[in-house]
Amino acid sequence: MRVYREPQLGDASGTDSGYAYAKASWIVGKSFLGKKLSQLSGLHTLYELDRLIFPDNHKELPGRELLVDMEKRIVQRAVRQILSIVNSFSEPPKLLVRMLKSFEYSDLKECLSHIISGKEKPVISDIGRFKTVRFNNYPDVASMIKNTEFEFLLNDDLKQIKQGMNASNPAWASVDLTAIETKLDYRFYQGLIESLYTLSDEDREVASRLIFDEISLRNCVWAFRLRTYYQKSEIEIAKQLMDFKLHKNFYQKRVSVATDALSSLDLPLDVRLPWRGWKWERFLNSEEVYLPGESYNALETKPSSSQQTVHWMVDPRYFQNAATQYLHHLAFHNFHALPMSVSAIYCFIKLKQFEEDILTSIAEALALGMESSSVFKLLVSEVN
């Protein structure tokens, strides 16, 4: 088995990038992305979805068992395809390795959640030679993360958890999982941003925009949720936002990814008009006016005296779905805009992660008896 070496600036050759892009293009053409997304609308059962996604490998299982099995296969296929592309490089660029490591971050968070809840080990994604966490030692977290980039937790939030300690130990009752997840998210994005410095100027410009917008929108979603569901104060919210500043070579000046979320804290959650001019305003739910049995968009149709305006409130879920779709469009565009580049492969990974999310979301909805069309409209909006 090849040992992974930390890549250096310029490691990715044109031959590597060209082969990887050709292979990624073939996978994208077979995936439920772009125009093929519409095939996911109109499904009525989990079995239909299984046959659509896995025509040669569908299963005949009871509903709940089929859902669990299908979600496992969806994730495994995405990881397998991403890994095959990253392994196309003789020395994979740091940006792509970091993206592949996002699965390890996610698996570690899920393992911690399962330990605290007293559950069995979850399904772990196989990222091959890039894995560092010893998941086979579950639930001995100290043994799992010792001598890895996650070892800092043993001196921080998990300092009371000792090697060999099992999940039934009372020490786990005091573990703050939310705080750990926040720190892990910060470290992941910090490493992602640091990897930008190993790219060419052209690659860095494309990747930095996607990463910057993703973190900015993630901060906004988190701010909306903290205000709407937990009534947190501005000071409390500001402390929980991820704040990075990119080097001036990426932009004309250093820009904080927390700026847009912080500026939203001064705007009312129940009045739409003051949001005009806010950077991500187009992703907010619109005001609605209606007559009995009818609905209108207040920005397109002027209500008459007989119409009533529905009381408007910021909808965090609507905003998150619209933001996700925007990032999907951005990745899809840039995948084709700069072919045979490292940034194009970065966009490929983002596209496969988007596909994984929407497939699992539709599977869960179908398992609950919903039709895919209603979920499809909720998750896939027309965002430019």
Select the more confidently predicted residue: 258 or 8: 258
Q: What is the mean pLDDT of residues 15-44?
A: 90
d(CA 379, CA 372): 10
The Cα–Cα gap between 377 and 256 comes to 33
Residue range 279-328, pLDDT digits in tens: 999 999 988 754 444 443 433 444 454 555 568 999 999 999 999 999 99
169 or 69, which is more confident? 69
Instruction: Indicate the pLDDT class of residue 384, thresholds 50, 70 and 90.
Output: very low
pLDDT, averaged across the chain: 87
Q: How confident is the model at residue 377 (pLDDT cuts 50, 70, 90)?
A: confident
pLDDT per residue as tens digits for the range 322-368: 999 999 999 999 999 999 999 999 999 999 999 999 999 999 999 99
71 band by pLDDT with thresholds 50, 70 and 90: very high
CA end-to-end span of the chain: 44
Per this entry, what is the length of the chain?
384
pLDDT band at 372 (very low <50, low <70, confident <90, very high): confident
Asked if residues 319 and 221 have their Cβ atoms less than 8 Å apart, the reply is yes
Average pLDDT of the residues in 362-376: 87
The predicted pLDDT at position 246 comes to 67
Whether the predicted pLDDT of 1 surpasses 70:
no
Q: What is the pLDDT of residues 152-189, one digit of tens each?
A: 999 999 999 998 887 788 889 889 999 999 999 999 99
Which pLDDT score is estimated for 265?
A: 97
**Residue-level pLDDT at 250:** 52
64 SS3 class: helix
Alpha-carbon dihedral angle through residues 62, 63, 64, 65, given to the nearest 10 degrees: 40
pLDDT at position 145: 97
Residue 32, pLDDT > 80, answer yes
Q: Which helix (H) or strand (E) holds 290?
A: strand 288-290
Helical residues (DSSP H) of the chain, grouped into ranges? 14-30, 46-53, 63-86, 94-117, 141-145, 177-195, 201-230, 234-239, 259-264, 316-337, 342-367, 372-379
pLDDT score, position 328: 94
User: So what's the pLDDT on residue 25?
Assistant: 96
Q: Quote the pTM value.
A: 0.88
Phi-psi group of 142: left, alpha or beta (phi > 0 → left; psi -120 to 50 → alpha; rest → beta) = alpha
Residue 199's nearest CA partner among 119, 92, 303, 272 is 92
**Max mean pLDDT range (11-25, 103-117, 253-267, 362-376):** 103-117
